[in-house]
Each structure stands twice: as C-alpha cells, then as structure tokens.
Structure 1
C-alpha cells in the first residue's frame, strides 16, 4: 500500500512539474513542445492523486497546485471566440488531411475522403504511396492544382480553379514567401476565394519557427478577407507557438478548436488546423474516422458571413 501511495505522489509531482515547466515555452522555445502534452499531464496528476489517497484537504491543495498550469494552458483555447456563420448562407465543406507518405492502405484513405463529400480538399504528404490515388480523387473533384515534383501538397475542388501556384505572386507576377500551395476557386455563389495548404516540420526543429514567420509575412501581403489556410501544422493549441501564430495570422481565425488528429489509433494531439478570414463563419468542425494515414482527417464547414 505504501508503494502505491509513493507511486501516486511521484506521478502527481512529476506531472505537476512538467505542466509548470511547459508554461515557460513562451520564454524558452525548447520547452514549448512540452505544452502539447498538457492534457496528458492533467490526467497523470489526477491518477497520481487517486493512488496517493491523502487527506481531503491535502488532496485539494495538491490538485489546485498541480492542475493550475494545465488550466492556464487550456483555458484560452476552450474559451476563444470563433465567428458563427448565418444558417441560411451557402455552405462550403473543407477537408484537410495528411495522407502520409508511408500510407499502407491508400485506397481506403481515398475512399474515406470521397465518402466525406468535401467541396474543397487540401492534402499534405500526397506523394509516396498515395500519389497513384490522386487520379481517383479527380473523378469526384474535377479541378486540381499542379505542384512541382518536390511538392507533396495538393488541392482539389468541386468548382473551377481560376488560378493557382506553389508560391504567392505580387502584382508584377514575381514569387514571394515560402512554398505554400494555393488555389483561387470560383465559389458556388459566384464569388471567388483562395484556399491554401501547408505542412510545417516538427516543433522541436528550429526550421518550424522560420516557416511560421515566413508564412505570416507572406499572408500579410495578400487579401485575407476570404482566405482559407489549412494543413498539418505540428502545433497544438496550448503551445505558445500556436498562440503566437494565431496573433500573427490575424484577422484569420482558427476554426478548429482542440480537435485531436494524431496519432490515428488514439488521437491525443490536435496538430491539424484550419484558419479562415473574416468573411467566413463556422458551421461545424469535426474529426473523421481513421483512414490508412497516421493522421485523422478534419472536416470543417464554413459559410460567408
């Protein structure tokens, strides 16, 4: 019995220490990836307190001290405002999915995407084993972007794509910014909008900070009113880097709220996201069932405000 209590104290103490440490990610970027596991730290703290079986008052104090950093990290995500779309407005179904280069069952993944009936599809890691299935998607979503051989991104649309590129272009046609696949789509109401997809590297890499900075600077140079940006961002909502990106991409608003999408079997990390400009309001956002990928697809329905 004493060993069980000792284990509980160690779990609660260790979880609490890790949770408090993760809050320092805004000052020490190397600690920021810890914040991705804040909900897990909270579960470990509660389980540890259950095993410790201390007196009620001691348990309450320990819970408050241990869970405080968890709530500090999660609360902004749970309470932030997402604009809502008018119910009568024409709806657009947007699906973002990292289909995984090593997908062992790409045919099932493609069928799951088709069954979801998206109007606009944004894919990451669309090379590798999934590349032969792109033609099958084209039978259901007839308009698609063209991407260089080095690019593993893809955008499909139910409506005509009037322009697209792997880099943004200025008024003189000169490329600028990082490689972001984008498509200018003629919407169902006759008004065009731009959809873009990207894939960040892992948060422990310094390259991701450069990617996020370059993306924010590039998006600041284009019209963002009706812009949609989605992809595998390898960031969770409770990371300081995600909060920094939310501010940097304003007036775009992240329409996905704490939707765990990785890993496939037991999703615990919300790392696939979708942002939309001020012209859009949210109808719904949900995670779809697992496919052959190691990520779950995310389906977001929006409408013009």
Structure 2
C-alpha cells in the first residue's frame, strides 16, 4: 500500500508541475511542449483524482493528501479551460454560411511527410474533393514530380521543393497575383504570400506558413516559430482585407502563442465551438493534436470543415471551404489585443530578428 501511495503522490506532483511550467512562458522546447497534451493531462489528472479517492478507502489521505487532491482538481479545471473552446460545448466563433451559392474559397492542406511515397492517395483525394487551392508541406523534388498531374487543373502554382522537411507547394485553380516566397525568420524555412483572385473578381490575401517546431532535434526554443507567427499576425492588424492564413504551424490551437496570434491578427478559428480536428499523429489516436490550421478574417463564414482520410503521412489532410460574406456581423470575437499583448508580440518578433516590413502584404492598398 505504501508503494501505491508513493506512486500516487509522485504522479500528482508531476501533473501539478506540468500545469505550472507553461505559465513561465519560457521558450525552452520541453516547457513549450507541455502546451500540446492539455487534454491528455486533464484525463490523467481525473484518473489520478479517482485513484486518490480509491486509496482513501484503505488508507486515509490526511490533510496533505487532500491538499494534493485539491491541487489536482485545480489542474483538471485549468487544463480543460484551454481545450473546451475546441468542443461543441462552446459557442461557435464562425457562423455557418447562409448563402452557399455566393463567392467561396475551398482549400485542402496536407503535410505529406517527405518520406511518404503514397502520392497517389493525395492525388486521388484532390480529384475527389476538387478544392480551389491545394497546399502541400514537407514536399521535396520527388513530391513535386508526383504532383505534376495537378497542373492540368491547377494552372497557377508556387513551388519550393526542399529536402529538409520544409518544402512547400501551392496549386491553384484561381489566379495568383503579387506572389512572394519568403524566408522570414530562418534561411531554410519558407513561407508563401500571395493574392488569390476569386471567380467573381474578389481577392483574398493568403499566407502559407510552416515554421520549425521547438524540439531537441530542431530548434531548442520556440523563438523562431513564435516570431514567424506573430510577425505575420502583426502585418495583418487592421489590414481590412479578406485574409486566410493556413499551414502546419507546429503549434496547437489552444497554445498561448496561437491565442496571441489570433488576438493580434484579428483572425478567427472555425474550429472553436465545433471540435479539435486533430491532424497529428495519424498512428497514435491518444496522442493527437490540431497542428494544421486555417484562420481567416471576419469577411468569411463557414461552408464546411473536415479532417480528410489518411494519405500515408503522419498528418491527416485538412479541408476547409469558406463563403465570402463581408456584410455579416455575427462572428464571435476575438477580443482586441491589450497594450501588453501588443508589446509581447513586438518583443517576440524582435527576438526572431524579423520586422513587419519584411512580411509581404499582397493586395493591400
């Protein structure tokens, strides 16, 4: 029994620490990585809470034990507060479109996994879904060759094949104008910035991002990732344009950085009030997170949002279809950023040695 109590105490302390460490906002990968498994940590906190109640039947916990139970309950509530917006129990941030026949934009985004050789699965999915835009991430020269058949139906494209896991391609049925391929923060991590011209002549500003994650095998800190996200967010502040930002951001939807990105940019997340739409990891259902994102301005409402079937990658593809309805005013949030949040975004951008002036602004007058 003493061993079980010791294990319970040890697990409880670890869960409390895992909840406290991200509050420091330190950029080290092992701290920022704790932003990801908030749902898993909530489940573990609940299980350890129940285990504590079961142990109490055989051995009273005492004041210290009940204090630890109280901390676990706080941890459970705290972790759930981050992920609950990404469930159907929350109010939807983006309304469903009321005019499906109007101008729209559909997008299929897929982190293909550079070593994956099931290009046929992706091509079949594109033929089935027929999106306006196809975004591929981690696509190298081999993938570029395999995706060449798309050019018949997608005559506009942006290609950046790289063998470092950060290649990216954009294929479009719609005209692309003012296109720029940039390396904003790291010299080997690209991003695409362009203006998509819809069938009716309306234009949409598009940014495709895939910053490197904080991890022991890549960047030991989140500085580079956070700087890229927030400098793009700052460039969008008060732009007044229809805007879409898409890609694998190597961050979860509920992290403090992604929240700050939404507050600074003013963009909306169609997953809020609908679900997490976890795209990574395909092989581990209990360890899945929403790493592939699409954010958009208030000019849009939602037609459809789906996680698509496995294509052999470690990511599921993501499908989003938006209706351009600039006259609607029934969107929910986000709130205006506070002066402190604006300052924090400026500081993070500065730490990444990147300025707003370096971010292309296609279509901005």
- How does the TM-score come out when normalised to structure 1? 0.82
Residue 175 (structure 1) aligns with: none
Residue 253 (structure 1) aligns with: 268
SS in structure 2 at match of 1:146: strand
Cα 1:286–1:7 change in 2 (3 A) is farther
Quote the Cα distance in structure 2 between the aligned partners of 1:80 and 1:21. Answer: 29
Q: Does residue 208 of the first structure (1) align with residue 206 of the second (2)?
A: no
Q: Does residue 191 of the first structure (1) align with residue 209 of the second (2)?
A: no
* Preserved CA contact (<8 Å) 1:146 1:154: yes
Residue 129 (structure 2) aligns with: 116
Quote the Cα distance in structure 1 between the aligned partners of 2:83 and 2:34. Answer: 13
Cα offsets for 1:35-88 (capped at 9, x unmatched): 211111112222233444145995974652331221233245554652214322
User: What is the RMSD computed on CA atoms of the aligned residues?
Assistant: 3.0
* Preserved CA contact (<8 Å) 1:226 1:278: yes
* Preserved CA contact (<8 Å) 1:45 1:67: yes
Q: Does residue 135 of the first structure (1) align with residue 153 of the second (2)?
A: no
Q: Does residue 296 of the first structure (1) align with residue 316 of the second (2)?
A: yes
Quote the Cα distance in structure 2 between the aligned partners of 1:220 and 1:136. Answer: 38
Quote the Cα distance in structure 2 between the aligned partners of 1:112 and 1:4. Answer: 50
Q: How does 1:59-98 map to 2 (within 5 A)?
A: 61=70, 63-75=72-84, 77=86, 79=90, 81-89=92-100, 90=102, 91-98=104-111
* Preserved CA contact (<8 Å) 1:25 1:239: no
Residue 157 (structure 2) aligns with: 145
Residue 174 (structure 1) aligns with: none
* Preserved CA contact (<8 Å) 1:10 1:48: no
Cα 1:15–1:147 change in 2 (3 A) is same
SS in structure 2 at match of 1:254: coil
* Preserved CA contact (<8 Å) 2:119 2:147: no
Q: Does residue 281 of the first structure (1) align with residue 301 of the second (2)?
A: yes
* Preserved CA contact (<8 Å) 2:210 2:248: yes
Quote the Cα distance in structure 1 between the aligned partners of 2:307 and 2:2. Answer: 43
Quote the Cα distance in structure 1 between the aligned partners of 2:50 and 2:138. Answer: 42
Cα offsets for 1:6-32 (capped at 9, x unmatched): 54443344223312333x144x33333
* Preserved CA contact (<8 Å) 1:98 1:297: yes
SS in structure 1 at match of 2:37: helix
Cα 1:290–1:2 change in 2 (3 A) is farther
SS in structure 2 at match of 1:253: coil
Quote the Cα distance in structure 2 between the aligned partners of 1:4 and 1:98. Answer: 43
Residue 172 (structure 1) aligns with: none
- How does the TM-score come out when normalised to structure 2? 0.70
Q: Which runs of no fewer than 5 residues in structure 2 stay unpaired?
A: 184-188, 215-220, 326-365
Quote the Cα distance in structure 2 between the aligned partners of 1:44 and 1:133. Answer: 43
Cα 1:149–1:116 change in 2 (3 A) is closer
SS in structure 2 at match of 1:113: helix
Aligned-pair CA distance for 1:287: 1.2
Cα 1:3–1:126 change in 2 (3 A) is same
State the aligned residue count: 291
Q: Which runs of no fewer than 5 residues in structure 1 stay unpaired?
A: 169-177
SS in structure 1 at match of 2:106: strand
